[in-house]
Structure 1
Amino acid sequence: MNVSTEHRIDVVDVTERVEAELPAVDHGLCTVFVEHTTAALSINEAEPHLVDDIEAFVAELSASDGWKHDALDGNADSHLRSSLFGRSVCVPIRDGKLALGTWQSVLLIECDGPRTRSLSVTATPSVE
């Protein structure tokens, strides 16, 4: 699944897209993995003010220059920021749907946009 971002630091709710890509599993575990080193995933509330707060928080996590990797491609801060969140999330599957809490959403956190990001969605059935 591909997700386009619009800003250098951007938070995109991908919950519905993940659920649409979910393999046919009644009960199990869904893993969502972002196939990039300057983007991350998190489970949190997708409320617009909180999304703005997450973007501001991510922007403040690291100085944007002065890193050794910047000599290569100028985005060390993006690698550092995304490393704090991680590249994957796991969500239980119940009755063929993501079993998220009332206010939980799967959020893609872009740290080096705008870009098009690839997400992998896999499902592991429960052993009964």
Structure 2
Amino acid sequence: MTTITVSTDAKTELVDITDRVEAALPDDATGTATVFVRHTTAGITVNEAESALLGDMAAFLEATVDDSGWDHDRLDDNADSHLRALLVGPSETIPVTDGRLETGTWQSVLLVECDGPRSRTVEIRVSD
């Protein structure tokens, strides 16, 4: 298992971490890589990392979940971040061959920040 740290700059942001995930894989790794974010207000997804689309995805999450009006806001005013992360999920499982992610042409591994800016811990674990 390897962990990486990803820093974000905005409340809602998608960060392409594909190269960092692949660099964390052993050269001879074959099987599946699970990429897991250790936070309840962030997620991991696989999608295209084109800049306009990344902005569209962030805007979609913001438009889908209202910023306020949630019961949890009385505790720490970030219920919207938890609910947006719920839509994304905390992990993805990706095939690996010879230390390389077996993604499609336009697929990238994305960290989805829902409560930034923050520093996030991402775990990468390879299984046979």
TM exceeding 0.5: yes
Q: Which runs of 5+ in 2 are unaligned?
A: none
8 Å Cα contact 1:25/1:93 also seen in 2: no
Provide the aligned C-alpha RMSD in A. 0.9
Aligned position for 1:93: 96
Q: Which amino acid aligns with 1:26?
A: A
Q: Please give the secondary structure, in 2, of the residue aligned with 1:121.
A: strand
Map of 1:1-128 to 2, 5 A cutoff?
1-125=4-128
CA distance in structure 1 between the aligned counterparts of 2:28 and 2:61, rounded to whole angstroms = 34
Q: Please give the secondary structure, in 2, of the residue aligned with 1:100.
A: coil
Count residues in correspondence.
125
Instruction: Give TM-score scaled by structure 1 length.
Output: 0.94
Identity of aligned residues (%): 51
Deviations 1:47-100 (A, max 9, x none): 111111111111112111111100000000000010011000000001220000
How far residue 26 of structure 1 moved from its aligned partner, in angstroms, is: 3.3
Instruction: Give TM-score scaled by structure 2 length.
Output: 0.94
The runs of at least 4 consecutive aligned structure 1 residues that moved more than 6 Å come to: none
8 Å Cα contact 1:23/1:122 also seen in 2: no
Q: Which amino acid aligns with 2:114?
A: C
